[in-house]
Structure 1
Amino acid sequence: SSGGSAANDSKTTTDSKVCTENLTETDAFITNSLNLDPAEEYNMDHKQRGLALIFNQDYFYWLLGLNARSGSEADRNNLERRLKQLNFEVRCYDNLKQVEVLEKIHEAAEEDHSDADCFLLTFMSHG
């Protein structure tokens, strides 16, 4: 038979190279995050934390064949609440068209952010 089967096609991966690469990446991340050079730390001492833009896309152009992302409002609301707790100015946008997204980003880029720690841009979508 030319078709696959779960018994034959769903084998446990024993490729040691894959496992080693994953461990190496994880170890490198942990090591790097524990050995921070104070000279390379990001300045977070400004008067304002900064602006955070959240673009949440629930619905998609029908030709893409993507299902609506039901329940994504809860994720967006949780992120918005957490960012506000971190003293960000948060602006949320739902289901904007591409040109509208670019307009909002351009508007934010034109603002004065010189007394802010950082700028955060988040896209919530499929994938």
Structure 2
Amino acid sequence: MLLLRYTITGISAVILDAIIYTLCLKLLFFSLTLAKLTGVISSVVYGYIVNSKWTFSCKTSLRNIVSYCVVYSLSIALNVITNRFLVEALPDRLFPLITAFCIATALSVCINFLGMKFWVFRQSEKHLTD
């Protein structure tokens, strides 16, 4: 059940990220980096709210917020750097904007799940299995 909830939350966060990223690029004319950063930060805030309340059934605490911010800061940095590198490195025939977005997001998902499961919300998970 935990993995299903995390997956649903993650998919909806990625959709939010993609929508905001695209709007920032196409309608607001943000730079590539700023558009990606804006999309990722929006999905991180959404993700914390949904993961803490629904996925891990956890009360908000300063410890959780700080550890969540640490995990996501590392994840965001990796996401933005990976996205930028791949957009510039991939040939046009590989659809660099879409491909880079997907790869950067996949790396972030792995880091985020492991960080949340084993560090951010580790105490809350015990309550779900009791």
TM-score by structure 1 length? 0.27
Higher-Rg structure is 1
Q: Which has the higher helix share?
A: 2
